[in-house]
Amino acid sequence: MPGPLFIQEKTPTSYSGRTGEHRQPTHITMVRFFSPRWVVACVVLLFSTNAFAVSAVLGVDLGTEYIKAALVKPGIPLEIVLTKDSRRKETSAVTFKPDASGPKAGSYPERLYGSDAMAISGRFPSDTYANLKTLLGLPADDAAVKEYLTRHPALQLEATKLRNTAAFKSKAFTDDVDAWLVEELLAMQLQSVQRNAEAMAGSDVRSIVVTVPPFYTIEEKRAVQTAAELVGLNVLSLISDGLAVGLNYATSRQFPVVTEGGKPEYHMVFDMGAGSSSATVLKFQGRAVKDVGKFNKTIQEVQVLGSGWDRTLGGDSLNYLIVDDMISKFVQTPAAQKASVATESVQGHGRAMAKLLKDAEKVRHVLSANQETATSFEGLYDDVNFKYKLTRADFEALAEDHATRVGVAVQKALDVAELDITQLDSIILHGGASRTPFVQKALEKIAGSDKLRSNVNSDEAAVFGAGFRAAEISPSFRVKEIRISDGSSYPAGFKYTDVNGKTRQQRLWTERSLLGAAAKEVTLNNLEDFTAQFYQQVPSADGVVDRETKVLTTKNLTASVAQLKVNHNCADSDIHFKLNLRLGGEDGEVNVVKATVECEADEADKEGSVMDGVKNLFGFGKKDQQPLGESSDSTESTESTESASTTAFTDTATTSSVETSTTASGDSSTASSAEAAESSVSATKKQLVVIPVQFTLEKSGVPQIPKGELTKSKDRIKAFENSDKGRRAREEALNQLEGFTYKIRELLDAESFIAASTEDERASLEQKASAVSDWLYEDGSDAPRDELKARLKELKDIVTPIEKRIKENSERPELVKSLRGALDQTASFVDSIKQKIAEAEAFSATASSSTATEASGTITATPSASSADFDGLEDDDFTSSTTTATALEDRGPVPPLYTLNDLKEITEMSESTLKWLEEKLAEQAKLAENIDPVILVKDIMEKTKKLEKAGMDLAMKAVNNFDSKGKKKSSSKKSTKTKKKAITKTDSSAPKHTVDLKDNEYIKFGGDGQQPSAEEIEEMIKKLTKEHEGKQASKDEVPTRDEL
């Protein structure tokens, strides 16, 4: 896979015109203030486009023999979509497997794809459809279609009535079912790829980019788009094989910047696949373009300069050489001659040809790496066996003419690109057949071995390029900016009948023309509504043929010309009809950008505006340069689509020349005469009057599938898909039932199952399981899904209760042990708390009695008049420290954080749970293992959970009490501090039982996010109390000081 393709953030590059250097800014900070309305609008837009922002896209390499797909999704940058058997490519084939009992009305056969389809192609050659790419968009009588039928004689081809394209009649359906279009069969293969991609992405995939050969005509491209449409896929773009490989090549490379004096690189992509060969000359270059603000950025460009191809030179044509050699040698064997086997008989035998084609491909692949190979056929034709052997030298002798055709495609591409082979930097090889030894030898002979490159994945470069292109088009992704330009491959133009009734033909584009380039303007002298035909010039056996692609029909040209004549006095010679035309970058279709009719007419000059008067006053304008107002006779613009809707464009241009005619009345020079002459001045101005022309642009050539037929095709493909889903569900039910019968056999011999079941249950289960097994081997394999599920339920109704007993008996002891442990811990915790409460109450009573005695024996001294003058002396502090030390010794135990009322709920719950457990265990002890238990695992787990929750609630109550006491102590400390000097020795010696928390102390749960147990809470409280006591003692200590 290439280097990093997806760019998370781009840093703008500044360009220095003086030095010609690009500089990266060190830091850019932008601060903007947005109004609330703007923010709301952005939020609405964000949520409205959310579905598109997370959508996945797919790049599809539509090969003749294999289909490959690359998925792009957030978190999955360009990943190959695997088949259901984990292969990186899917064989381009679909097979209808007929029902064993024959076709039934309204039913659909089983469909197989890829390697599964080819595995049974020998059994069902008349219902196996492979390599359909070569038939797309072609008439049924085309030479390529006839060649395909020769190689697949078992297929029944029919020409469609309206379109005269290929369709196949399937023997897996009843005779009243219509033949399947090539587009429908290809749509099924695309749907299979889509299912695999959605399974990988975990979401819907609806948008794709598809690769096509450079020689595909408009009709062939439309056939690909139709196939995708039939299964709900949106084709974002079509991209030629060579350009897709070049795009993949450019994703991990930087090329010379031509705006800085660099020279572009020229590479040729030689792509030889199963069906065809093509050579594409590409130009790679970098370019500095304007970025945000004053900054520049460098982008990469890939352009197609020319393409050459051979439609039939590929792996299949080489396979056919081997097949023909096999048949030739087979009919010469003594056994075949004895059976009077003729060449034509073998070629017309569907199963024999399917076997030969399958093995011929294997032989060719082996010869690419080995000097010789062999294969054998059992009962190839008329029960005659055949052994075949082929060496590489013999194979290259068979393909001698094919080797010379390699250079033709290369030279054609160079001629179109107007380049020489020496100007190429390299030839990039792609396609499986390009690895054939004689093909590489032919290329080395043309360009030299030093120019052949294998620096891309020859199997997957095209699909990666298509996937990158899909991500680039989709608004969901941001990728490296690479601007591509595909080639038109064929000359194109249009035909029309001029004003003299003569047929005119004008070429507008050549083989080198780039798709998506700037529009071309064509001027015609037609003044009445007419029709023009666009065409492609396609080579054929009979020479170059003009194939129509679209038909343009004007709607209001005649009326618009009349309007110009009446309202603007335009002459026929001054009226012109103009078309702006371009080739679409996504599919190469002709697009009409604008259609107008115009003439340059004399119009009265209107007075200028107030601003013009101000300009003239200060000398910034001239009176004869008045702005032209909009004509009241202009026609409103209407929209148009290519499917028989109208398009109109409005454009107005003015000329800068002004003609002024002055009329004077006589030769009088009086002032009144001058004024009269001045008022009679009449100014006129040449202006271009433009009227948009409405038109329709319809597809022509091979007729499109009518909407009714298109809907019918979609419906029967959807019905086919629903049938497959139902079949898969039935097969799953069948597998479950069959697997359960095997499981029952194992259960009946298991000791645990025997112990937990009665003799009657085992006998009934064995009897029913045996009956189901016999039924499956007879008629049950074809039974509907509902019946299979009903029989499975009947067996499970017996097995499930027994398995439940086994589970209960095995899990109960451990859970009972856990519950007893929880009960013991709860009882121990409650007892310890009660003991602490009793100790605290006893100490409190003793302390209260002692305080009362000391208070009665204390004599309060009368302070002297000057005592206030010595409040701050050291003696008071020393005395205070002495009393504090005495108080610390009499502090007593830590007060409990619970009351007896707090323990009431958990005590009652513990006692009731213990009673329930003892009663249930006593009842269970009286029951045998094969009897349903009275104490269930779920009940024990529920009791344990409730008990643990009650303990946790109690622990949290302690934390809350602890926190509330801390707050009270903190508030009391503030009030005590303000009255510190008035405290007597008796007051300072009073016991203090409040434990204060640290300012930032808080309770944390376990590191795993779980609540702590009651024991952990208690341990934490003890630790905090101990730390607080130490802190308080250190605060109360008074350091020894020297007296002054």
| Segments making up each domain of the chain, as ranges | 315-404, 492-605+634-660+679-699, 722-798, 811-850+877-1036
Strand partners, 214: none
Given a contact cutoff of 8 angstroms between Cβ atoms, the answer to whether 105 and 131 are in contact is no
Beta partners for 819? none
Residue 859 has pLDDT above 70, yes or no: no
HSE-CB for 950 with a 13 A CA cutoff: 24
* Per-residue model confidence (pLDDT) at position 76: 83
Predicted local confidence at residue 7, as pLDDT: 33
Which amino acid appears at position 247 of this protein?
Answer: L
pLDDT at 849: 73
pLDDT at 476: 87
For residue 995, pLDDT beyond 90: no
Whole-number Å distance between alpha carbons of 512 and 306: 6
Compute the distance between CA of residue 748 and CA of residue 249 in angstroms, rounded to an integer: 64
- Alpha carbons 1014 and 1020: distance in angstroms, whole number: 10
Confidence category of residue 870, pLDDT binned at 50, 70, 90: very low
Q: Phi and psi of 22, rounded to 5°?
A: -100, 130
> Which residue did the predictor score with more confidence, 779 or 131?
131
- What is the C-alpha R_g of the chain? 46
Please give the full DSSP string across 612-662, using - where no structure is assigned: HHHHHHTTSS-TT-PPPPPPTTPPPP----TTT--------EEEEEEEEE-
Picking from 300, 303, 286, the residue whose alpha carbon sits closest to that of residue 5 is 300
Q: How far is CA 891 from CA 392, 844, 968, 984, in A?
A: 104, 10, 18, 18
Query: For 76-86, what is the mean pLDDT?
Result: 92
For all residues of the chain together, what is the average pLDDT? 81
Q: Which helix (H) or strand (E) holds 193?
A: helix 182-201
Q: Which of 193, 243, 239, 184 is CA-nearest to residue 212? A: 239
Is 796's pLDDT higher than 90? yes
Per-residue pLDDT tens digits for 725-755: 999 999 999 999 999 999 999 999 999 999 9
Inform me whether the pLDDT recorded for 81 exceeds 60. yes
Three-state secondary-structure class, residue 732: helix
Instruction: For residue 240, give the nearest of 270, 260, 204, 215 by alpha carbon.
Output: 215
Please state whether 290 falls in left (phi above 0), alpha (psi between -120 and 50) or beta: beta
- Please give the structure tokens belonging to residue 659: 């003609």
Q: How would you label 981-1003 residue by residue, b for 16+ Cβ within 10 Å and e otherwise?
A: eeeeeeebeebeeebbbeeeeeb
Q: Which range scores top for mean pLDDT: 35-39, 150-154, 236-240, 668-672?
A: 236-240
> What distance separates the 2 farthest-apart alpha carbons in the chain?
149
In 110-204, DSSP assigns E strands to 110-113, 128-130, 156-159, 166-169, 180-181
Percent of the chain at pLDDT > 70 equals: 75
Q: Are 262 and 280 in contact (CB under 8 A)?
A: no
Q: What is the mean pLDDT of residues 352-361?
A: 93
Does position 893 have pLDDT exceeding 60, yes or no? yes
Query: Alpha-carbon distance 702 to 168, whole Å?
Result: 18
In DSSP notation, 314-376 reads: SHHHHHHHHHHHHHHHHHTSHHHHHTT--HHHHHT-HHHHHHHHHHHHHHHHHHTTSSEEEEE
Q: Which of these, 648, 977, 923, 664, lies nearest to 812 by C-alpha position?
A: 923
In tens, the pLDDT along 672-692 reads 444 444 444 456 788 899 999
Instruction: Please give the Cα distance from 683 to 606 (Å, whole number).
Output: 9
Phi, psi of 903 (to 5 degrees): -90, -5
pLDDT in tens, 290-320: 988 888 999 999 999 999 999 999 999 999 9
List, for residues 763-787, the tens digit of each pLDDT value.
Answer: 999 999 999 999 998 888 888 999 9
The hierarchical CATH code for the domain 315-404 is 3.90.640.10
As beta bridge partners, residue 398 has: none
Phi, psi of 793 (to 5 degrees): -65, -40
What type of residue sits at position 1011? Q
Q: Is the predicted pLDDT of residue 1002 greater than 50, yes or no? A: no
CB 429 within 8 A of CB 439: no
CA dist., res. 887 & res. 851, Å (int)? 12
Tell me the pLDDT tens digit for each residue of 183-227.
999 999 999 999 999 999 999 999 999 999 999 999 999 999 999
- pLDDT of 373 over the 50 cut: yes
CA distance 131 to 189: 11
d(CA 215, CA 218): 10
Query: At a CB cut-off of 8 Å and minimum separation 6, what does 253 contact?
Result: 284, 300
Least trusted range by pLDDT, from 320-324, 419-423, 823-827 = 823-827
The torsion angles phi and psi of 861, rounded to 5 degrees, stand at -75, 145
Note the pLDDT of residue 389.
95
> Kind and range of the H or E element at 469?
helix 461-473
Contacts of residue 500, Cβ cutoff 8 Å, sequence gap at least 6: none
Q: What is the DSSP string of 526-572?
A: --S--EEEEEEEEEETTEEEEEEEEEEEESSHHHHHHHHHHHH---G
Q: In 699-784, which ranges are continuous DSSP H helix?
A: 707-749, 751-755, 759-778
User: How many whole angstroms separate alpha carbon 63 and alpha carbon 83?
Assistant: 16
Strand partners, 375: 388
Residue with more model confidence, 67 or 979: 67
The DSSP line for 374-389 is EEEEEEEETTEEEEEE
Instruction: Classify domain 722-798 by CATH architecture.
Output: Up-down Bundle (1.20)
Please tell me whether residue 166 adopts helix, strand or coil conformation.
strand
Distance CA 695, CA 800 (A): 74
- Give 796's Cβ-side CA count (13 Å radius): 11
pLDDT tens-digit profile of 604-659? 765 554 455 444 544 544 444 444 444 434 333 333 434 433 334 334 333 333 33
* Alpha-carbon span 411 to 891, nearest angstrom: 106
Q: The whole model's pTM is what?
A: 0.73
Please give the Cα distance from 364 to 390 (Å, whole number): 9
With contact defined as beta carbons under 8 Å apart, do 91 and 115 qualify?
yes
pLDDT tier at 896, thresholds 50, 70, 90: confident
What percentage of residues in the chain have a pLDDT greater than 90? 61
For the segment 902-907, the average pLDDT, to the nearest whole number, is: 85
pLDDT of residue 318: 95
963 falls in which pLDDT band (50, 70, 90)?
A: low
